[in-house]
Amino acid sequence: MALDPDAVRRGSVVSIRLPRDKARPAVVVRSDLLRELSYATVLPITSDLREGISLRIDLAPGPENGLRVPSQVMVDWPQTVRLSDMGQVIGELNPAIMQAITRELEKLRGEKAPAVRWDPSAHAQSETGRFEG
């Protein structure tokens, strides 16, 4: 069963199964401006907690994120996954956690994220870009 692309938004917690790995939750980090794509970049979530490892974000379980046990986002292991290979959306991470993930992704990428997210409508642009013939 394919996941509805509109259900997969930045911050959504989805279930995935990566090659040679067990089923696990993951957080979507793809921009919502790319929602028409048939795939998304995610960061796997683990319940195997590790102290003192950089690029890990601690998560407390709760109904909002769909997690049942204390977990960590593995910012050090980004994966791009087809929507057809994802399970259901089980929750969502709050803006503060997503901001912490963005800061860790800056370290991984070696560059700062823009201070303000690009808003195409503020610049008289469509959300899907200019595809003029």
Q: Which two tokens stand for residue 23?
A: 């089923």
Per-position DSSP letters for 28-75, written without gaps between them: E-S-GGGTTSSEEEEEEEESS--TT-TTEEEE--BTTTTBSS-EEEET
126 falls within a domain: no
How many structural domains are present in the chain? 1
Q: What is the pLDDT of residues 23-37, one digit of tens each?
A: 899 999 998 888 888
- Closest Cα partner for 93 from 66, 55, 74? 66
Q: What is the number of residues in the chain?
A: 133
Say whether pTM exceeds 0.75: yes
What is the domain-level CATH number for residue 43? 2.30.30.110
35 falls within a domain: yes
User: In whole angstroms, what is the distance from residue 106 CA to residue 19 CA?
Assistant: 26
Choice among 3-12, 79-88, 107-116, 124-133 with the minimum mean pLDDT: 124-133
